[in-house]
Amino acid sequence: MSGVSGTPRVRAVRASAARTSCTAVGFRSPPVYLDWGRCSRRVVPTAPHTATRGSVIALPRARALLATFAAAGLLLSGCAANEPGVDADYDGPSGRFNASGSSAQEAAQAAWISGYQEAYPGVTINYSPVGSGAGRANFVEGWTVYAGSDAALDEDEGPLVSCADGATALNLPVYISPIAVIFNVEGVDDLRLDPDTMAAVFNGTIGTWNDPAIAALNPEAALPDAPITVVHRSDDSGTTENFTEYLHDTAPDVWTEEPSDTYAYRFAGADGNQGNSGVVEGVRNGRNTIGYADASRAGGLSSAQILVEGEWVSFSDEAAAAAVAASPFAERADEHDLVIELDRTGPAGSYPLVLVSYMVVCSEYRDAGDAAFLTDYASWVASEEGQARSAESAGSAPLAEATAERVREAVRSIGADG
């Protein structure tokens, strides 16, 4: 394999420097001479009580090596400076809880978890951003105490192992993020796209920037005569699902494909990148590009205004939360199962191009400890401080007070079986 010296070469024995003292690394065995001419001491098979016994491998530098390893070991075995551990008189909740799910929520979950762990250092919550599908599957199988999911858990996704018998899953909307339509065209700072034009751009029907449809909506913009590169997600994602749902609801004649988490259209100008950051990078580093991404990650790129009931709206936290607050809850078996049916045509002044992500919990837990932790944590998540925290660290839009109150009410209804 690479790096290994080939056939051992015959080397002339160096007469000079061989008089260094050797450290015997003893094998308790009949001695075998392995160093030919290097050591100044020769080991001779003698009676058992002789101090020097065993074969000798010349290691003049062994002590130095050993010292380095010991130092490195000490350095690494130390605890993290930011994890002081739990005081002796700590009497709050403790334990480790696992959760998994949507990667869109990851930053927000990190914010909520860190807030909760700061208050209760005895608790460790591990949220694995493995994706909504895997998150829901993990929750159904009982491996996690809650799931983060961009789509609601359907009643027919299997029997819930960690929930009590007869319990159902509750979907609690906890994360709202507007989806920004970002673009990077030299010389163009503002762009307005109505649903039909947007759908046509994103499915390849409109191929150049100075197309009459775009120009009609943006008379002052200096649109170049260049092909449009549409940057979309190459991995399955809830952002794609929400974006395609918006396009399908508002422009069904142009965007004919059903909404799904895989981007459906493939054409010469469509470029698939991995992850939100991939799409943002693709738009930023490319030329004459347009794409869709979580608004919190849009980092400095210009975004388009969308047409909502005759008005041009830019994305903002308040507008996004207003769109969610104006949408009705779906009809579900449990009155606390708060699945939102987003009205993508939205009330005027709201920004209905949003992603709503849920925290999927049991209505009743088998284990009392799980229930206690969950109710405490979920009420923190839905509280004003919790939402402010995620807005600050993850860029989400805080829940409108009405929605948050319904969520908190649902959390209060969670119990434990026995």
Token reading at 210: 């100075």
Q: Of these, 93, 133, 369, 415, which contacts other proteins (CB under 8 A)? A: 133
Q: What is the DSSP letter of 17?
A: G
Q: Give least dist CB 329 to other proteins, A.
A: 25
Q: Of these, 268, 330, 348, 388, which contacts other proteins (CB under 8 A)? A: 268
Q: Give least dist CB 14 to other proteins, A.
A: 8
Which CB sits closer to other proteins, 261 or 337? 261
**C-alpha span between 387 and 204 (Å, rounded):** 38
Residue 40 interacts with other proteins (CB under 8 A): yes or no: no
Strands (E) in 150-224, as ranges, are 169-184, 192-193
Residue 281 interacts with other proteins (CB under 8 A): yes or no: yes
Q: Give least dist CB 320 to other proteins, A.
A: 15
Residue 65: count other Cβ atoms within 10 Å of its Cβ. Answer: 10
Token reading at 26: 């003893």
Crossing angle of helices 368-382/401-412, nearest 10°? 170
Identify the H or E element spanning 381.
Answer: helix 368-382
Nearest-10 Cα torsion for 341, 347, 350, 353: 40
Distance from the Cα of residue 106 to its chain's centroid: 4
**C-alpha span between 306 and 310 (Å, rounded):** 10
Residues 307-346 that bind other proteins (CB under 8 A): none
Q: Of these, 23, 128, 168, 345, which contacts other proteins (CB under 8 A)? A: 128
Cβ atoms of 210 and 229 closer than 8 Å = no
One-letter identity of residue 110: A
Q: Of these, 134, 164, 223, 307, which contacts other proteins (CB under 8 A)? A: 134
Residue 80 interacts with other proteins (CB under 8 A): yes or no: yes
Q: Of these, 94, 95, 143, 205, which contacts other proteins (CB under 8 A)? A: 143
End-to-end CA distance of the chain: 61
Q: Give least dist CB 328 to other proteins, A.
A: 27
Residues 50-69 that bind other proteins (CB under 8 A): 55, 57, 59, 61
Task: Tell how strand 146-149 and strand 354-362 pair up.
Answer: antiparallel
Q: Give least dist CB 62 to other proteins, A.
A: 8
Task: Tell how strand 169-184 and strand 354-362 pair up.
Answer: antiparallel
What is the size of the binding site for other proteins (CB under 8 A)?
Answer: 95
- Choose the binding region for other proteins from 3-11, 320-328, 352-360, 401-409 (rule: CB under 8 A): 3-11
Q: Give least dist CB 77 to other proteins, A.
A: 8
Write the CB contacts of 61 (distance below 8 Å, at least 6 apart in sequence): none
Residues 232-261 that bind other proteins (CB under 8 A): 234-237, 261
Residues 348-407 that bind other proteins (CB under 8 A): 392-395
Residue 231 interacts with other proteins (CB under 8 A): yes or no: yes
Which CB sits closer to other proteins, 113 or 404? 113
Q: Name the phi and psi angles at 354, rounded to 5.
A: -125, 160
Residue 1 interacts with other proteins (CB under 8 A): yes or no: yes
- Choose the binding region for other proteins from 42-50, 79-87, 249-257, 305-313 (rule: CB under 8 A): 79-87
Residue 94 interacts with other proteins (CB under 8 A): yes or no: no
